[in-house]
Amino acid sequence: HVGSRVRMRRMLAGVSQERLGEALGLTFQQVQKYEKGTNRISASRLQQISKMLGVPVAFFFDGAPTDDSIGEGFADASATTYVADFLATSEGVQLTKAFVRIKSPRVRRRIVDLVESLGDSPVETIEQ
């Protein structure tokens, strides 16, 4: 969870893995391993990352599963993970950045309605 939040924040800030790695004295491959969860991020490293990306350390734990939630609400937890995973992709970041630039609440609502209707459509219909 923490790694995907690092990736999401890095992408929203427009910072490349290379640039973040250089600022931290790491290779981009190490940043990539942190983001994918292959390697764990130490507390001191997470503090450095939070300063570089301009967010509090707590940001990286927002939405993380807690001991209280284990065994409860599996559907909700997987939906939250699915959304967080999407937001960590380049498409998720692009869509979010474009959407927040739309000023009209009416237009935003219509876009949400459109996307929801497309999400309910069979794949064959969308591809045609």
pLDDT in tens, 46-82: 999 999 999 999 988 877 666 655 555 544 555 556 6
Average confidence score pLDDT of the chain: 82
| pTM as predicted | 0.59
Q: Report which of 68, 69, 91, 94 is spatially closest to residue 79, judged by C-alpha positions.
A: 69
Contact 34, 5 (CB under 8 A): no
- pLDDT for 56 equals 92
Domain with 76 in it: what CATH number?
1.10.260.40
Q: Tell me if 74 is assigned to some domain.
A: yes
Whether residue 121 is predicted with pLDDT greater than 70 in this model: the reply is: no
Range of the domain at 22: 2-88
Structure tokens at 77: 């937890």
